[in-house]
């Protein structure tokens, strides 16, 4: 019998990586997206057919936050997460054979700006502001479904390091001599190698007793100044100019993005994953960058 996996919002660099991994394991992978070659969000019959009997559902859908927070963009960021999650939940409820596991993306940004201590699932403090409200609503939409035959896991994902995403702009900064600290440099940078994110999903598949919220982040976050130093070392650049807050604000406006992506201190640790015995393949930024720069 063919094993099925469904990846919603699976056209970005994370979804593409997961699709390739699961196809290598022999899964038939379905993608739900707004692209015409995939299952469409308004095609409820095709969604239900793909989800029916699936081993795994992964929801990554949502408009990129790498934009200016205009009212229009904020509305799209919010709705693209909550509405797709609700569409998946309703489709799962309509399945004859419910999927075994539903992993829904969330974000480590749900925690407050933290320079004093790390944020864990049990002891972390939820923050304030637009991004936090999006994260809370996203998780509320997910856990509003009571699915007796489908285990539900929300992954509060830190910044994902891989061949895409944030790595490209950071590499460009270092390449052009701008790889110094950003702002004070004290803000914490929580991250996870894309391979460990995939391995986290596999870990959840193999542990039937696990559900609820997990921080998907490496166990060794670093301060921004240490992150940029590691980036410079990995690219054989000895120095890099720092960027003050006002410089970042000017640059962010020009690039049509927000400084929150750089200046918010995300000090997030994977307490539950570690407690359950998960072993990270890339626990340090040095090991992660060594792999990604090979």
- pLDDT tens digit string along 173-196? 888 888 899 999 999 999 999 999
Q: What is the pLDDT of residue 247?
A: 78
The answer on pLDDT for 294 being more than 80 is no
Q: What is the pLDDT of residue 67?
A: 85
pLDDT value at position 201? Answer: 98
- Is residue 67 domain-resident? yes
Residue 252 pLDDT > 70, yes or no? no
The boundaries of the domain holding residue 275 are 4-163+191-220+267-281
Q: Which of 158, 159, 173 is nearest to 234 (CA)?
A: 173
Give percent of the chain above pLDDT 90: 81
Residue 158 and residue 191 in contact, taking contact as beta carbons nearer than 8 Å: yes
Helices (H), the chain: 13-24, 44-51, 71-93, 130-143, 167-175, 194-206, 224-234, 245-255, 260-263, 271-275, 285-292
pLDDT category at 170 given cuts 50, 70, 90 is: confident
Stretch 264-287: mean pLDDT: 97
In a domain? residue 227: no
150 is a domain residue: yes
147 in Cβ contact with 98 (< 8 Å): yes
The whole-angstrom separation of Cα 95 and Cα 98 is: 5
What are 185-241's pLDDT values in tens digits?
999 999 999 999 999 999 999 999 999 999 999 999 999 999 999 999 999 998 888
Give residue 248's pLDDT: 76
In sequence order, the 6+-apart residues with CB closer than 8 A to the CB of 279 are none
At 130-162, the pLDDT tens digits run 999 999 999 999 999 999 999 999 999 999 999
> Is 225 a member of any domain?
no
Residue 236 resides in a domain: no
At residue 82's C-alpha, the angle toward residues 97 and 5, to 5°, is: 35
- Which residues touch 29 (CB under 8 Å, ≥6 apart)? 4, 5, 6, 7, 10, 19, 22, 23
Instruction: Determine the number of helices (DSSP H) and then strands (DSSP E) in the chain.
Output: 11, 11
State phi, psi for 192 to the nearest 5 degrees: -155, 135
What is the residue-wise DSSP string for 131-161? HHHHHHHHHHHHHT---TTSEEEEEEE-EEE
In a domain, 168, yes or no: no
pLDDT in tens, 28-82: 999 999 888 999 999 999 999 999 999 999 999 999 888 889 999 999 999 999 9
Does residue 257 surpass a pLDDT of 90? no
Residue 228 in any domain: the answer is: no
For residue 244, name the pLDDT band (cuts at 50, 70, 90).
confident
Measure Cα distances from 269 to 3, 214, 218, 290 in Å: 33, 10, 7, 22
Longest dimension (CA), the chain: 59
- Is residue 10, in this structure, part of any structural domain at all? yes
Q: pTM for the whole thing? A: 0.95
Distance CA 20, CA 253 (A): 36
Q: What percent of the chain has pLDDT over 70?
A: 99
Is residue 250's pLDDT more than 90? no
Q: Read off the pLDDT of residues 75-129 as tens digits, 9 standing for 90 and up.
A: 999 999 999 999 999 999 999 999 999 999 999 999 999 999 999 999 999 999 9
CATH of the domain at 29: 3.40.50.720
Say how many domains are in the chain.
1
pLDDT score recorded for residue 164: 86
Beta-sheet pairing, 159-162 with 191-193: parallel
């Amino acid at each position: 019998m063919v094993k099925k996996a469904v990846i919603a919002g699976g056209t970005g660099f994370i979804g593409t990586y997961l699709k390739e991994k699961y196809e290598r394991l022999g899964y038939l992978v379905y993608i739900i997206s707004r692209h015409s070659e995939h299952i469409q969000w308004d095609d409820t019959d095709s969604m239900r057919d793909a989800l029916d009997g699936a081993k795994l559902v992964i929801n990554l859908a949502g408009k990129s936050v790498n934009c200016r927070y205009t009212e229009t963009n904020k509305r799209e960021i919010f709705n693209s997460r909550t509405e797709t999650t609700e569409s998946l939940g309703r489709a799962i409820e309509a399945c004859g054979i419910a999927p075994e596991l539903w992993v829904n993306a969330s974000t480590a940004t749900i925690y407050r700006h933290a320079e004093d201590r790390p944020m864990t699932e049990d002891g972390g403090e939820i923050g304030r502001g637009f991004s936090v409200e999006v994260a809370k609503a996203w998780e509320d939409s997910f856990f509003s479904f009571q699915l007796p035959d489908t285990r539900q896991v929300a992954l509060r994902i830190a910044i994902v390091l891989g061949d895409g995403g944030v790595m490209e702009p950071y590499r460009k900064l270092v390449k052009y001599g701008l790889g110094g600290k950003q702002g004070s440099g004290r803000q914490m940078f929580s991250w996870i190698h894309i391979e460990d994110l995939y391995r986290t999903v596999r870990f959840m598949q193999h542990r039937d007793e696990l559900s609820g919220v997990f921080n998907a982040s490496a166990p060794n976050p670093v301060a921004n100044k240490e992150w940029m130093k590691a980036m410079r070392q990995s690219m054989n650049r000895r120095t890099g100019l720092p960027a003050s807050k006002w410089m970042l604000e000017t640059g962010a406006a020009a690039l049509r993005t927000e400084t929150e992506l750089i200046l918010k201190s995300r000090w997030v640790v994977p307490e539950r994953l570690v407690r359950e015995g998960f072993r990270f393949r890339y626990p340090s930024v040095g090991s992660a960058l060594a792999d990604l720069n090979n």
